[in-house]
Amino acid sequence: MSEQNGTTNGTTTKAYTPHDHLVTIKTKDGLKDYYPAAWRLYELNLRFEEANFSSEILFMDIERNFVIVKCRLYLGPDYEMSHKKTQAMKQGLLSQLDKVETAAKARCARDFGVSTELALDWDDEPVDIAASAESAPIRETLQSSLSGKNPTRPQSNGHVSNRIEAVQELFASVYSVQPEQLANQWALFVTSVLGRAIADSELTEEKIARLHGAIIAAQREQAQQSKQNGATHKPAQTASSVQAWFAKTYKVAPTDLDTRWSKFKVYILSTDVVDDNLTEDQLNKLNSAVSQQYQKIVAARGQRKASATEVKAS
């Protein structure tokens, strides 16, 4: 879109100019200007007020952290009846599902003439997938979609129940959840990430992917904190280490630590036990309670980041 000056209700306005939003990125060919996908979608909305998107997951592999997303862009309320429409696919990391979906939408926008001269192949770099028999479902999904024979339901590498079990296993590992507490803490985690309680039997492919992404994000944050602190996220099961983690997670001031730690022990264990007499089972319960709070903090932080991203994109 070219830069123009106009007058609306007596007020001079400046038209949206894509070049004002270019950023410089480093590529294998050196530094280049890049037009961020969020601004491309913003420009699309300015140029086509009736534009609508629909998206679906064509394939996802939890074990290999891989996903293929298909997006449709069309004018008006219905894709089939639209006089101008397009579709595009994007593959990427399952843990970055939102980013992959945004890139697929940006590809569609390019088909509508948005940023054809500014968009680089930055969004088109493929994710390495081993050239083996395991990659056959991916090729079949791409071929069927490109030929117009879309799968009736998202492809995947196993039954839904098996994938949920795999994600739950990862969840328990990352958050140090004991087997007897998994059902309860998993339900809390689902609610914190998806915004409401959903039974495992009702979890869709996309919801499973978002849960998986939240766990991966928490795992990365733990690794980063471990690197900064020179220690692993999960502390040794001693009274002093669990207490220290409690203080860090709940942001307890040193002057209040003894009082709040004592109250915390009574609340979790239903009895007052001095630190030296805490059993291994009691330490595990205290540690799991702190893990649950930490999980809520990470999930809330992820939601805030996602909301901020959506605001910028809009």
Q: In this structure, are 114 and 184 located in the same domain?
A: no
Residue pointed to by tokens 């296993």: 169
Q: In this structure, are 123 and 171 located in the same domain?
A: no
Q: What is the pLDDT of residue 60?
A: 75
Q: What is the pTM of this model?
A: 0.46
Average pLDDT per run of 10 along the chain, which is 314 residues long? 41 69 80 83 90 85 79 90 90 83 88 73 46 47 50 47 79 83 86 84 82 80 67 60 86 88 90 88 86 78 62 53
Residue pointed to by tokens 């101008």: 84
- Domain tally for the chain? 2
Inside any domain, residue 181:
yes
Q: Are 52 and 76 in contact (CB under 8 A)?
A: yes
Q: In this structure, are 127 and 239 located in the same domain?
A: no
Inside any domain, residue 6:
no
Q: In this structure, which amino acid lies at residue 35? A: Y
Q: What is the pLDDT of residue 288?
A: 84
CA distances from 43 to 20, 104, 293, 304 (A): 12, 16, 41, 25
Q: In this structure, are 287 and 169 located in the same domain?
A: yes
The token pair at 11 is 């007020």
Task: Specify the pairing of strand 51-61 against strand 155-156.
Answer: parallel
The residue range of the domain holding 228 is 160-313
Inside any domain, residue 222:
yes
By CB atoms closer than 10 A (0-12, 13-18, 19+), residue 101 is: buried
